[in-house]
């Protein structure tokens, strides 16, 4: 039987990347002469792909690629590293791997940026792979999940797979593959967003996330893993 699998969103789930992302979006708007979004709107950019976020917030189509270029330039110049791992996430990743769960990062952040962030923050050794779109494509979360699953020689069935994320697109992307999504309350979702999207449950701490994953995927290892934690 293939080992169970957890697909992990990055921004808002594993790392608090709000400072760098919001500053980069602001700089990108200003670079093309557009007024920067209000702070509450800026937070909504964290999670979905940048192309879809810009279109959703009314950036004229002829300016979208210019804004994307300016945004990525600001990220590469330092915004990418204005991020911290959420408290409690690292021990949870260690506990899940110790219990035999495979962990793959599946993010809307371009894969080259995701690798850089995970390496800088010490997350790369704690996961089994990192997946995101290339710089020259605009992918949905479902597309990224498909790539992550296709990377496995022995992918588990949907019943032995979970998506963990903080935004509605994580829930919808997982659903396209028949995968259940567990939402996390410490990310950037609007109140009620995850529940409305159909998340199976929403946990309020990394410890609660670990317990939920073990309960759903590794019931036989639950007690042993919790004793080690």
Q: What is the pLDDT of residue 185?
A: 97
Q: What's the mean pLDDT in 33-55?
A: 88
Q: What is the pLDDT of residue 139?
A: 81
Q: What is the pLDDT of residue 222?
A: 44
- Per-residue tokens: 145: 């999940």
- Torsion, Cα of 43, 49, 54, 55 (10° steps): -130
Q: What's the mean pLDDT in 185-194?
A: 95
Q: What is the pLDDT of residue 223?
A: 47
Q: What is the pLDDT of residue 53?
A: 87
CA gap 128, 103 in Å, rounded? 5
- Per-residue tokens: 98: 């110790």
Other Cβ atoms less than 10 A from the Cβ of 33: the count is: 8
CA gap 79, 96 in Å, rounded? 30
Q: What's the mean pLDDT in 16-38?
A: 93
pLDDT band at 135 (very low <50, low <70, confident <90, very high): confident
Least confident of 96-100, 109-113, 127-131: 109-113
The three-state (H, E, C) secondary structure of the chain, written as one string: CCCCEEEECCECCCEECHHHHHHHHHHHHHHCCCCCCCHHHHHCCCCCCHHHHHHHCCCCHHHHHHHHHHHHHHHHCCHHHCCEECCCHHHHHHHHHHCCCEEEEECCCCHHHHHHHHHHCCCHHHCCCEECCCCCCCCCHHHHHHHHHHCCCCCCCHHHEEEEECCHHHHHHHHCCCCEEEEECCCCCCCCHHHHHCCCEEECCHHHHHHHHHHHHCHHHHHHHHHHC
Percent of the chain with pLDDT over 70: 95
Q: What is the pLDDT of residue 220?
A: 53
Q: What is the pLDDT of residue 48?
A: 78
CA gap 153, 96 in Å, rounded? 20
CA gap 199, 166 in Å, rounded? 10
- Torsion, Cα of 33, 35, 41, 44 (10° steps): 0
Q: Residues near 214 by Cβ (< 8 Å), separated by ≥ 6?
A: 96, 99, 221, 222, 225, 226
- The tens digit of pLDDT for each residue in 203-229 reads 999 999 999 999 999 875 444 444 444
In Å, how far are 65, 109, 115, 118, 155 from 53, measured between CA atoms?
Answer: 12, 12, 22, 23, 31
Q: What is the pLDDT of residue 202?
A: 98
Least confident of 38-42, 45-49, 53-57: 45-49
Q: Which residue has the tokens 């509450």?
A: 40
Q: What's the mean pLDDT in 156-183?
A: 97
Q: What is the pLDDT of residue 142?
A: 96
Q: Does residue 155 surpass a pLDDT of 50?
A: yes
Q: What's the mean pLDDT in 155-177?
A: 97
The answer to whether 42 and 19 are in contact (CB under 8 A) is no
- The tens digit of pLDDT for each residue in 89-103 reads 999 999 999 999 999
Domains of the chain, each with CATH number or no CATH: 5-16+83-228 (3.40.50.1000), 18-81 (1.10.150.240)
């Amino acid at each position: 039987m293939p080992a169970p699998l957890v697909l992990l969103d990055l921004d808002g789930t594993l790392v608090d990347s709000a400072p760098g992302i919001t500053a980069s979006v602001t700089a990108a708007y200003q670079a093309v002469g557009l007024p920067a979004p209000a702070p509450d709107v800026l937070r909504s950019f964290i999670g979905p792909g940048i192309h879809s976020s810009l279109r959703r917030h009314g950036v004229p189509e002829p300016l979208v690629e210019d804004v994307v270029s300016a945004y990525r330039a600001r990220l590469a110049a330092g915004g990418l590293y204005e991020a911290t791992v959420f408290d409690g996430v690292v021990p949870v990743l260690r506990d899940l791997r110790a219990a035999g769960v495979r962990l793959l990062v599946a993010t809307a952040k371009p894969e080259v940026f995701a690798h850089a962030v995970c390496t800088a923050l010490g997350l790369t050794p704690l996961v089994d792979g990192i997946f995101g779109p290339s710089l020259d494509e605009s992918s949905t979360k479902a597309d990224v999940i498909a790539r992550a699953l296709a990377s496995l020689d022995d992918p588990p069935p949907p019943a032995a797979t979970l998506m963990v994320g903080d935004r509605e697109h994580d829930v919808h992307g997982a659903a396209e593959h028949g995968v259940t999504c567990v939402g996390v309350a410490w990310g950037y979702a609007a109140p009620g967003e995850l529940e409305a999207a159909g998340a199976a449950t929403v946990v309020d701490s990394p410890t609660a996330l670990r317990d939920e994953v073990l309960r759903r995927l590794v019931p036989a290892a639950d007690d042993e893993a919790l004793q080690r934690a």
